[in-house]
Amino acid sequence: MPTTRACWLNSRAKRPRRFAFCFALVWLVLFALVACTKANPGFVLQSISGLMPRLTFHLTDPDGRSVDASDYRGGPVLLYFGYTRCPDACPTTLSNLAAALRKVGTPAFRVHVLFVTVDPARDSAPVLRQYLSAFGSWFVGLRGDEDELTALTKRYRVVYRREPVDKAGEYAVDHSSTVFIFDGDGKPRLLAGASDTPDAIAQDLRRLLQIG
């Protein structure tokens, strides 16, 4: 797996103070809202029902087709923003999601994990396909142009920033590392973070699959 400088989890000291402040402020507001929301009965993860908009986007899939949220209706959708050269946060998160889906078992065939790259310049369709193949058939890599990516990240209050290019021509991308979970109708339901275990995620996915 290609590696660069550490992504946002390991590069806080390197990012400009203004970006760090904006990053912290956005997530402080979001988690304050989450904390004030009554948890969904029977769920383990944090509820975002009523806090985030429905799943809506226009992007490009690995086959070069234009897709939108309606193409992934009928089962839970997990939305995650990252990039293939991220050395730790992304592979750790995707591995945890893959472990959770294996625990769900056969019903997990209805689940889609949408990995939206915040580095479309380097994450071509073939690169995304090869990278995500290591995690399982649930994972779909999506790309967008700058306008599409900006619109989607703003919609879900996701922060990302490309670091300056180094002498080797490489750069890291600071980014949020949270998984948004939507139900089969595209309604926002849950938020999964780094501290949530595969067991907890699997438990809530089973319940979403039962609800429909």
* pLDDT at residue 22 greater than cutoff 60: no
Among candidates 93, 68, 40, which has minimal Cα distance to 151? 68
Least confident window among 21-35, 111-125, 181-195: 21-35
Tell me how crowded residue 44 is: count the other CB atoms within 10 A of its CB: 17
Q: Domain 8-211 sits in which CATH superfamily?
A: Glutaredoxin (3.40.30.10)
- Sequence spans of domains, the chain: 8-211
Quick one: DSSP state of residue 11?
Answer: -
Give tens-digit pLDDT for 171-184: 999 988 899 999 99
Residue range 41-46: mean pLDDT, rounded = 87
Q: What is the pLDDT of residue 41?
A: 63
Name the pTM for this structure: 0.82
Q: Which position has the token pair 């050395």?
A: 87
Q: What is the pLDDT of residue 20?
A: 44
Give tens-digit pLDDT for 89-147: 999 999 999 999 999 999 999 999 999 999 999 999 999 999 999 999 999 999 999 99
Query: Tokens at residue 194, please?
Result: 């780094």
